Structure 1
Amino acid sequence: MSGETDGAASPFDEEFLLRQAAGDRALMREVAQLFRDQLKAQMAVITGGGEAMLRYEAAHTLKGASLSIGARPLAEAARKMEAGLRRLAEGGETAGLDELLASLEAAAAECDAALAAFLARA
């Protein structure tokens, strides 16, 4: 896929977000901050240990929101967590959920830090 390297992918794609904001840097900053707020809220639901279906819905929402700002690594981690929570909600096993959650938490922290750094300099 073009734009990808063998190294770790960037937590979010600033150029993609700028295109999504139609070149409006003020809007780009606002979207980034709103995403950080949503990230915190969705992660609270996912990590809260509540009903599997609610956690699944939060992972699904986080996946879509991540894609909308170009946060592909976070979207992928959320996709995997979403699939695991769907299995759990449908009466499946919890095996592997801890690893998926750890991966999601790491991706969320990396994305949040990258967004914070972006907002500090934007």
Structure 2
Amino acid sequence: MYLDAIPGAYLDTNNTGFIVIPPSSVADMHPLNFTIDGCVFSIDTAAQLIPLDQNAVFGGKIGVQYGVITSLGADSGRGLDFIIGQKLWLEKYYVVFDADDNRVGFAYTDHTFSTYLP
């Protein structure tokens, strides 16, 4: 559904495994919202994109816009079907892990409400 919502986007199965997003579609991307325990957390366009100067680190091509959302394979409905990781989540929110009580907490950072600047 995510891939289909971005005109011209496709999965780069040969190099990175990430979604390639045409430059003409970036400005029309929408926030990606997650609801966790009744709270909505929004991920803006900037957080959904790999900065162009980091493409080489991920095995990507120079000048191509990649998105950080990708497929982990088939949705099994059990086990690991989704990862909220560094680029998408940990750069936008403070995350506190309480291993003693099996809890996790989230808080805003200075970058939580950043916006994409083309």
Same fold? TM cut 0.5: no
User: What TM-score, normalized by structure 1, do the two folds share?
Assistant: 0.28
**Structure (1/2) with the larger strand percentage:** 2
| Between structures 1 and 2, the one with greater helix share | 1
Question: TM-score, normalised to structure 2's length?
Answer: 0.29
